[in-house]
């Protein structure tokens, strides 16, 4: 646990934001929490838990300042953790005053791309707010909010080019039920997080089409290979599996088999907590995209991500038949059964 006085501001009030507040509060760290709805704020203050997400997670309210003005949260915080669905991040950031983010450390817990821009959040923040990459960090898994609420051992990865600062930030989140990992692959981990949501949505479609575990294991293995190929194509290093260099701590150095890449892909494809898998399962069973969205009442990041990655790959030209087929199922009305027949043909 960290011992200095860095103050965190959590931007968002969904499941993942609630889980991160729980971790910090359990560690006796004061938190500024931006919650949009005043009724939700009143409820949390009175009942000590979020009525809409992770309602089993209770907080020490004395450690939390719950505020409905995002600029107040920003001004009173040293580190800002952005935890809203990527589809809404532009809307949220439009509320931020010019210059308010200057000299702040920004942590993205958003596993998606900025819609209509088809860029990672760090690129958007640099262009629109002047945030240098050295002040930007990504917070990733593999980790489901529901298991954090249940205090089941989970893993968080903090990535940034300033690894010393990433380690300082990670220390605030270290807990008996949270292990932390630090790496410097700030672009690779974000692309991997985007892609794993697309592949997890596809895993759900396969389940909805009544494919079995044998097929799913081959599907995930091929998805992992496709992901690695894209990362290599955009210049990401550390893709080799099974080779490590010695480190002073005697821990393995990172490669593509690390938890934030392959581990996050696996848990998102297999776990019943995965909203992308759930969304895909509904598509495989015959739901339209619109009806699945209404039924879930939650955002499956893989849906928008599939279109963003399709657009990005028009320039990158990586070989991505699985991701491209999922895009066509979701956005071009390719029938799921027909699409997965095509996927069967490309798998090895």
Evaluate if residue 237 carries a pLDDT over 90: no
Q: What is the 3-state secondary structure (H, E, C) of the chain?
A: CCCCCCCEEEECCCHHHHHHHHHHHHCCCCEEEECCCHHHHHHHHHHCCCCCCCCCCCCCHHHEEEECCHHHHHHCCCEEEECCCHHHHHHHHCCCCCCCCCCCEEEECCCCCECCCCECHHHHHHHHHCCCHHHEEEEECCCCHHHHHCCCCEEEEEECCCHHHHHHHHHHHCECCEEEEEECCHHHHHHHHHHHHHHHHHHHHHHHCCCCHHHHHHHHHHHHHHHHHHHHHCCCCCCCCCCCCCCCCCCCCCCCCCHHHHHHHHHHHHCCCCHHHHHHHHHHCCCCHHHHHHHHCCCCHHHHHHHHHHHHHHHHCCCCHHHHHHHHHHHCCCCHHHHHHHHHHHCC
Residues 159 and 198 in one domain: no
| In a domain? residue 3 | no
Enter the tokens of residue 54.
């992770």
| In a domain? residue 31 | yes
How does residue 293 score in pLDDT terms, banded at 50, 70 and 90?
confident
| In a domain? residue 2 | no
Evaluate if residue 238 carries a pLDDT over 80: no
| pLDDT for res 231 | 92
Smallest CA-to-CA distance from 297 within 54, 12, 14 is with 14
| pLDDT for res 254 | 65
Domain boundary among 130, 157, 184: 184
Cross-strand partners of 139? 158
Residues 206 and 173 in one domain: no
How does residue 311 score in pLDDT terms, banded at 50, 70 and 90?
very high
Kindly state the average pLDDT of the residues 200-221: 97
Q: What percent of the chain has pLDDT over 70?
A: 93
How does residue 284 score in pLDDT terms, banded at 50, 70 and 90?
very high
Residues 196 and 140 in one domain: no
Domain boundary among 184, 201, 218: 184
Residues 163 and 226 in one domain: no
Evaluate if residue 243 carries a pLDDT over 80: no
| In a domain? residue 334 | yes
Cross-strand partners of 107? 81, 137
Smallest CA-to-CA distance from 85 within 179, 15, 171 is with 15
| pLDDT for res 229 | 92
Taking the C-alpha atoms of residue 16 and residue 178, their distance in angstroms, rounded to an integer, is: 14
Kindly state the average pLDDT of the residues 246-269: 74
Residues 98 and 159 in one domain: yes
Taking the C-alpha atoms of residue 73 and residue 127, their distance in angstroms, rounded to an integer, is: 22
Residues 160 and 268 in one domain: no
| pLDDT for res 348 | 86
Residues 12 and 150 in one domain: yes
CA 243 vs CA 123, 239, 343: distances in Å: 31, 10, 30
| In a domain? residue 272 | yes
| In a domain? residue 291 | yes
Evaluate if residue 178 carries a pLDDT over 80: yes
| pLDDT for res 112 | 84
Residues 143 and 192 in one domain: no
Kindly state the average pLDDT of the residues 185-199: 94
| pLDDT for res 246 | 59
What rounded mean pLDDT belongs to the chain? 91
| pLDDT for res 295 | 87
Evaluate if residue 142 carries a pLDDT over 70: yes
Domain of 12, CATH number, reads 3.40.50.720
Number of domains in the chain: 2
How does residue 255 score in pLDDT terms, banded at 50, 70 and 90?
low
Domain boundary among 184, 204, 221: 184
Residues 146 and 257 in one domain: no
Evaluate if residue 281 carries a pLDDT over 70: yes
Strand order in the sheet with 136-140: 64-67, 31-34, 8-11, 79-82, 105-108, 136-140, 154-159, 178-183
Residues 170 and 226 in one domain: no
| Residue numbers of the domain that contains 310 | 188-346
Taking the C-alpha atoms of residue 22 and residue 31, their distance in angstroms, rounded to an integer, is: 10
Residues 148 and 196 in one domain: no
Largest CA distance in the chain: 57
Segment 21-79, tens digit of pLDDT:
999 999 999 999 999 999 999 999 999 999 989 889 999 999 999 999 999 999 999 99
| In a domain? residue 274 | yes
Taking the C-alpha atoms of residue 307 and residue 294, their distance in angstroms, rounded to an integer, is: 20
Domain of 216, CATH number, reads 1.10.1040.10
Which own/partner contact pairs does 210-218 have at CB distance under 8 Å and 24+ positions apart?
211/340, 216/269, 216/270, 218/347
Residue pair 11/83 in contact (Cβ under 8 Å)? The answer is: yes
Residues 158 and 291 in one domain: no
Cross-strand partners of 180? 156
Evaluate if residue 2 carries a pLDDT over 60: no
Smallest CA-to-CA distance from 59 within 31, 90, 81 is with 31
Evaluate if residue 317 carries a pLDDT over 90: yes
| In a domain? residue 1 | no
């Amino acid at each position: 646990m960290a011992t200095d006085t860095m103050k965190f501001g959590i931007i968002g009030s969904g499941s993942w934001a609630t889980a991160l507040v729980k971790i910090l509060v359990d560690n006796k760290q004061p938190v500024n929490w931006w919650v949009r709805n005043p009724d939700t704020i009143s409820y949390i203050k009175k009942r000590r838990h979020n009525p809409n997400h992770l309602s089993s997670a209770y907080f020490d309210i004395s450690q939390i300042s719950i505020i409905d003005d995002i600029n107040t949260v920003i001004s009173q915080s040293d580190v800002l953790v952005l935890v809203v669905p990527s589809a809404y991040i532009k809307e949220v950031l439009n509320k931020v005053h010019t210059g308010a983010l200057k000299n702040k450390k920004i942590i993205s817990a958003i596993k998606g791309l900025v819609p209509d821009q088809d860029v990672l959040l760090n690129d958007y923040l640099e262009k629109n707010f002047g945030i240098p990459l050295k002040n930007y960090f990504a917070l990733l898994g593999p980790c489901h909010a529901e298991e954090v609420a249940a205090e089941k051992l989970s893993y968080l990865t903090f990535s940034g080019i300033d690894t010393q600062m990433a380690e300082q930030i990670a220390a605030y989140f270290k807990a008996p039920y949270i292990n932390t990992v630090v790496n410097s692959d700030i672009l690779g981990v974000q692309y991997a997080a985007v892609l794993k949501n697309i592949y997890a949505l596809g895993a759900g479609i396969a389940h909805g089409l009544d494919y079995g575990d044998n097929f799913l294991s081959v599907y995930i293995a091929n998805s992992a290979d496709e992901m690695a190929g894209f990362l290599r194509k955009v210049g990401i290093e550390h893709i080799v599996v099974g080779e490590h260099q010695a480190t002073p701590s005697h821990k393995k150095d990172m490669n593509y088999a690390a938890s934030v890449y392959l581990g996050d892909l696996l848990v998102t494809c297999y776990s019943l907590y995965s909203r992308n898998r759930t969304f895909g399962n509904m598509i495989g069973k015959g739901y339209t995209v619109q009806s699945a969205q209404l039924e879930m009442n939650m955002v499956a990041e893989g849906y928008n991500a599939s279109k963003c990655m399709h657009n990005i790959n028009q320039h990158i030209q990586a070989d991505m038949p699985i991701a491209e087929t999922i895009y066509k199922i979701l956005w071009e009305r390719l029938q799921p059964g027909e699409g997965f027949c095509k996927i069967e043909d490309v798998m090895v």
